[in-house]
């Protein structure tokens, strides 16, 4: 059975183009959702993966619709393969895991993507090392202690709401709560 999966990131985006393409490709069932691919819990994707049977073919308009990162995409493809099903992307003709060549190309591209991610990570580490050797610390600059103390005094005095304290001092709620907890006031 040909099964389609269509996804857009936000509620105001339309699925029409993807659904039309999936119907033209012969999909008998189309799972669709409006949710960011960054979300770990994508209910329709989970339903589709749970319903797969041997020899089913999952069709997507493009790979970015089903997986956001290479590792995420690989784990989804592995789950599809675990039941004996396959994945085809309409926009990336090389992505057809039903063929040996498509399977090979998928793993080659996945390897290149993983390699690029490792290089980026290494360049970031090297850049931070160079910056530290030049005396740069990195990260967000810390707030002056006077501002934090003022926010704590205002909180203790109960003369202002938390939102008003944040607005007046520039100290975030998270920082204020962390300091209150550390000082035993929460």
Q: Catalogue the active-site residues.
A: 9
∠ at Cα 88 (85, 90), nearest 5°? 160
∠ at Cα 104 (103, 108), nearest 5°? 120
CB pairs under 8 A, 24+ apart, for 40-46?
42/7, 44/5, 44/7, 45/5, 45/7, 45/76
Question: Could you give the CA distance from residue 77 to residue 97 in angstroms, rounded to a whole number?
Answer: 9
Of the candidates 55, 120, 67, the residue with the CA atom closest to the CA atom of residue 95: 67
Question: Could you give the CA distance from residue 141 to residue 55 in angstroms, rounded to a whole number?
Answer: 56
């Amino acid at each position: 059975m040909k099964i389609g999966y269509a996804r857009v990131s936000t509620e105001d985006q339309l699925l029409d183009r993807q659904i039309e393409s999936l119907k033209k490709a012969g999909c008998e069932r189309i799972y669709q959702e409006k949710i960011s691919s960054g979300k770990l819990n994508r209910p329709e994707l989970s339903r589709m993966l749970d319903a797969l049977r041997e020899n089913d073919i999952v069709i997507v308009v493009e790979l970015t619709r089903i997986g956001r990162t290479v590792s995420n995409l690989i784990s989804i493809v592995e789950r599809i393969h675990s039941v004996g099903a396959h994945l085809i992307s309409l926009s990336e003709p090389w992505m057809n895991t039903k063929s040996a060549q498509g399977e090979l190309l998928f793993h080659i591209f996945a390897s290149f993507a993983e390699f690029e991610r490792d290089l980026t990570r290494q360049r970031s580490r090297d850049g931070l090392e160079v910056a530290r050797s030049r005396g740069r610390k990195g990260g967000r600059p810390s707030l002056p202690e006077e501002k934090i103390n003022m926010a704590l005094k205002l909180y203790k005095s109960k003369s202002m709401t938390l939102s008003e304290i944040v607005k007046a001092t520039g100290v975030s709620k998270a920082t204020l709560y962390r300091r209150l907890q550390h000082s035993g006031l929460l």
